[in-house]
Amino acid sequence: MTSPSLSFPPDFFWGCATAALQIEGSTEADGREPSIWDDFCRNHPERIHGRATPEPACDHYRRWQEDLDWIGKLGHNAYRFSLSWPRGVRGLDFYDRLVDGLCARGVAPMATLYHWDLPSRLGSWENPAVPEAFAEYVELAARRLGDRVTHWMTLNEPAWSIMNGFVTGLHPPCVQNLDRAFQAGHQLMRAHHLALARLRSAGVRGKLGIALNLSPVRCAGTSAKDRRAARWADDYLNRWFLEAVVHGRYPQAAARRLRFEQVLDNPQPVDFLGVNYYYPKWVAHSQRPTQFHLNTSGQSQEKCQFSLQGRLQFVDSPRAEKTEWDWEIDPQGLEDLLLDLNRSYPGLPLMVTENGIGLREDPSCQDDPQRIAFVEAHLQAISRALAQGAPVKGYLMWALMDNFSWLNGYQKRYGLLAIHPETLERRPKASAEWYRRVFQTSAGSKS
Ligand code: FCB
């Protein structure tokens, strides 16, 4: 089944990604404090498909050993997980055991330090005290896990945190205000650089990076206004965070346009860039009223909408194949993105830290040909980018197992492992075995 066009370096990292809130459950165990997502789910159950909550998720907090056994059995040589900041110091006991368990199975532990579960007591990312509080937590994590974690990612998708938290208002804290979005984004970037400084001064052995959600922006119209809208989207969805991470400053012209005057003190370089890629953005000018909507039903007639009046809208791609959640499937976008990153930041190591497909699946059926086709096409795209010189170091599929998919609840399934909704029993899907064979037949496997 493996395509002959798949060719990867021998030291390539192969594995999956997860996030604490989406898999762990046990949200009140061992002194864990509430996060903004626990509160959001409790206060707005109607906004989440099936009124789902992050409890019990996959019950990974209690079943972690079984999950590590699966990772070992499936032959992965890397695993990206996130630390739950709301679990505080006591939670680090759990991650200590998890990291040991990964090392014992020959799997590289890759830790994300923040994946959207801000402790409620801190309010929101608008609070200027959050970056320092984060840096203190990071320092504790660094001292505890720094001898074994191979890759650190400070934040997951800061652009999405502000886009959904402060522009569309679909995620907590449910604000719709562009100025406030960029001020909150600045706190996220301060937190990122402070965290890198703390990791370095703690002398951790792993490589330091961040996981950014990045999408090639494609202009969907022919007018000058359409081209301006596409530039706007690229500037603020991609370049804003890329420049702040790689060069420690916001892109000048884009900052001037927003009259944004914040600067980043003591910026720190990254050793690698994590790339979360799902689909490209097709952008045109918009006169339509500002409106945001996400398809969370998985009914293909329900359209996602994003339009900022007088500025831009996301539009349907002219040629797209889409999932039932209205997400475009475009592997070419990943090749374009990786090549573009290598042109903009030559030689900066890249890691695909998320990529995968959400499907409606019967938990008792393990056949997932659509996932196999999706991953294979994206691996081919990476393989082409590698052949053209992009320094891609690994591929971490989203996700190891079906999980709590934020507003989509549990219906949108991304896992290599199916989780039975009642018994929480794990069963490998066909894609899990297929994925194992892919890297066994390409040089970098640990068979
Ligand atoms: C990304 C998130 C991740 C997951 C995927 C499907 O934006 O980082 O937690 O839910 O989407």
294 alpha carbon to ligand 1 midpoint, in Å?
A: 14
Task: Clarify whether 261 is annotated catalytic.
Answer: no
Q: Could you read off the pLDDT of 338-393 as tens digits, one per residue?
A: 999 999 999 999 999 999 999 999 988 899 999 999 999 999 999 999 999 999 99
43 alpha carbon to ligand 1 midpoint, in Å?
A: 22
355 alpha carbon to ligand 1 midpoint, in Å?
A: 9
In a domain, 295, yes or no: no
CA-nearest of 378, 396, 376, 371 to 333 is 378
Contact at 8 Å (CB) between 17 and 80?
Answer: yes
**Which atom of ligand 1 is found nearest the CA of 156?**
8
Confidence tier at 446 by pLDDT (50, 70, 90): very low
Question: Does ligand 1 come within 6 angstroms of the Cβ of 398?
Answer: yes
For residues 122 and 88, give the distance between their C-alpha atoms in angstroms, rounded to a whole number.
Answer: 13
Question: Does ligand 1 come within 6 angstroms of the Cβ of 406?
Answer: yes
| Residue nearest atom 9 of ligand 1, based on CA coordinates | 19
Q: Could you read off the pLDDT of 52-76 as tens digits, one per residue?
A: 999 999 999 999 999 999 999 999 9
In a domain, 88, yes or no: yes
Question: Does ligand 1 come within 6 angstroms of the Cβ of 114?
Answer: no
Q: Is 441 exposed, middle or buried (0-12, 13-18, 19+ CB in 10 A)?
A: middle
For residues 10 and 315, give the distance between their C-alpha atoms in angstroms, rounded to a whole number.
Answer: 40
Contact at 8 Å (CB) between 109 and 79?
Answer: yes
Q: Which among 335, 354, 361, 376 is annotated as catalytic?
A: 354
Give the chain's domain count.
1
4 alpha carbon to ligand 1 midpoint, in Å?
A: 30
Does the pLDDT of residue 444 top 70, yes or no? no
- Domain with residue 348: its CATH number is 3.20.20.80
Question: Does ligand 1 come within 6 angstroms of the Cβ of 156?
Answer: yes
Confidence tier at 447 by pLDDT (50, 70, 90): very low
Instruction: Find tokens 């907090």 and name the residue.
Output: 61
Q: ∠ at Cα 130 (159, 187), nearest 5°?
A: 40
Question: Does ligand 1 come within 6 angstroms of the Cβ of 157?
Answer: yes
Question: Does ligand 1 come within 6 angstroms of the Cβ of 160?
Answer: yes
Instruction: Find tokens 């959050």 and name the residue.
Output: 130
In a domain, 257, yes or no: no
CA-nearest of 15, 36, 52, 140 to 86 is 36
In a domain, 243, yes or no: no
* pLDDT > 90: percent of the chain: 93
Q: Which among 24, 126, 139, 157 is annotated as catalytic?
A: 157
pLDDT at 218: 97
Does the pLDDT of residue 1 top 60, yes or no? no
398 alpha carbon to ligand 1 midpoint, in Å?
A: 8
Amino acid, single-letter form, for residue 25 = G
Average pLDDT over residues 263-271: 98
Task: Clarify whether 157 is annotated catalytic.
Answer: yes
Question: Does ligand 1 come within 6 angstroms of the Cβ of 354?
Answer: yes
**Which atom of ligand 1 is found nearest the CA of 405?**
10
Question: Does ligand 1 come within 6 angstroms of the Cβ of 19?
Answer: yes
In a domain, 87, yes or no: yes
CA-nearest of 66, 82, 110, 86 to 23 is 82
In a domain, 408, yes or no: yes
Measured in degrees and rounded to the nearest 5, phi and psi for residue 260 equal -100, 120
Does the pLDDT of residue 25 top 60, yes or no? yes
Contact at 8 Å (CB) between 268 and 196?
Answer: yes
Question: Does ligand 1 come within 6 angstroms of the Cβ of 117?
Answer: no
Parallel, antiparallel or unpaired: strands 273-276 and 350-354: parallel
Parallel, antiparallel or unpaired: strands 217-219 and 291-293: unpaired
In a domain, 3, yes or no: no
Average pLDDT over residues 162-189: 97
Domain that holds residue 378: 13-231+267-278+320-440
In a domain, 245, yes or no: no
Quote the pTM value. Answer: 0.97
pLDDT at 405: 98
Average pLDDT over residues 28-33: 98
- In which region does residue 340 sit, left (phi positive, over 0), alpha (psi from -120 to 50) or beta (all else)? alpha
408 alpha carbon to ligand 1 midpoint, in Å?
A: 11
339 alpha carbon to ligand 1 midpoint, in Å?
A: 23
